[in-house]
Amino acid sequence: MAVSDFELIQAWRQVLELSNLRAGDTVALLTSGTTNAQTLRCAIIAVQEKGAIANRLDLQPANGALSLSRDPLAYVGKTPLTGNRAAVKMLKASTMVLDLMTLLFSAEQHEILAAGGRILLAVEPPEVLVRMIPTAQDRTRVLAASARLRAAKTMHVTSAAGTDATFALGDYPMLEEYGFVDAPGRWDHWPSGFLATWSNEGSAEGTIVLAPGDILLPQKAYLSAPVTCHLEKGFVRRIEGGFEAEHLRDYMDSFNDPEVYAVSHIGWGLQHRAHWSVMGFYDREASIGMDPRACAGNFLWSTGPNNEAGGTRDTACHIDIPMRNCTVMLDGVAVVRDGKLLEDQE
């Protein structure tokens, strides 16, 4: 069901308040041809209500001839900011950037953050934004989980379907997504509510069995049959199963880059207002699938680049894989058991 401008403006007000936007600040609204018009106009009103200056920067699309999908995460690394120094300069001069087009995995995003800018990504449909308005409690929950992950040396993930995989930790930073940008140099994503890090290079080992109902993104597909991924020395070395395994291999091979098979970030969902079952209810081209990425108790792992964490892999293929019914253990202590957050049972 659609939401009113009033509801969405109220949501933006809360996000901007949590992000410590002040009168006189400069906000750049980064847009493209696919930006949701309601999200944009409501954001501008909310920014101006705070007494901040709103500037819109509209950029032409990129990667259309290279990507196999219209999803902005189907081909990453190069964006409309690549080589566009005038646009980068404007964004670096802004207090905050509201990314309404998707800059993920770009070198320019890192440059803006390194200069002290704040970037908030918001590209899900307005209905999803309003349902998952971030709160201070979201931040508290994510940071508490982050402290546990930061202290851990090993993550061990198992499932009744046959998953048994280990990951050494400690070499990379935390990815703490709670939905607002309350400090200089911070990137976040509204809606969100999940935690991740990157395993140490070459350390991912074992077997991950994707069960029916597990999800592939950006394909936005619920699996109907098991797919088995064999991990060795930090890479997915074999993918076994029926048609869906073949389909996944064919897609990844189309990038002609062995690094697409590297294990990227690993973590789990913490957002109770995100729902596994709703992905198919939204227009495939309007959503990037944040519900399954953030839903409480999932195990979310990915393949491809790690440059956003300071690594060197900038491959264009990035696949996020949210899984249900897994047990996630940090140094032998469970934080998720059979797909349920342990904090919910305390």
pLDDT by residue (tens digit) across 59-68?
987 766 666 6
Structure tokens at 117: 């800018």
pLDDT digits (tens, 9 = 90+) for 170-223: 999 999 999 999 999 999 999 999 999 999 999 999 999 999 999 999 999 999
Look at residue 64 in the predicted model and tell me its pLDDT: 66
The pLDDT, as a whole number, for residue 341 is: 96
Amino acid at 340: K
Task: Give the whole-angstrom CA distance, residue 133 versus residue 136.
Answer: 10
In this predicted structure, what is the pLDDT of residue 346?
43
Q: Average of pLDDT values for 84-104? A: 94
Asked, as a colleague might, if the bond just before 305 is cis with ω within 30 of 0, I would say no
Domain 5-131 indexed as CATH 3.30.365.10: no
Q: Tokens at residue 216, please?
A: 């592939």
Q: Where are the domains of the chain?
A: 5-131, 136-345
More confident residue, 69 or 92: 92
What pLDDT, on a 0 to 100 scale, did the predictor assign at position 345?
47
**Which pLDDT value is given to residue 80?**
85
Determine the angle formed by the axes of helices 107-114 and 85-92, rounding to 10 degrees. Answer: 30
pLDDT at 308 (0 to 100): 82
Q: Is the pLDDT of residue 273 over 90?
A: yes
**DSSP assignment string, 158-226:** EETTS-EEEEE-SSS--EEE-S---STT-EEESS--EEEEEPPTT--EEEEEEPTT-EEBTTTEE-SS-
pLDDT for 68: 65
Q: What is the mean pLDDT of residues 219-235?
A: 97
Determine the pLDDT at residue 233. 98
What is the helix (H) or strand (E) element at residue 119, kind and residue range? strand 118-121
Q: CA 82, 86, 89: angle at the middle one, nearest 5?
A: 95
Q: What pLDDT sits at residue 286?
A: 84
Cis-peptide, bond into residue 80, ω within 30° of zero = no
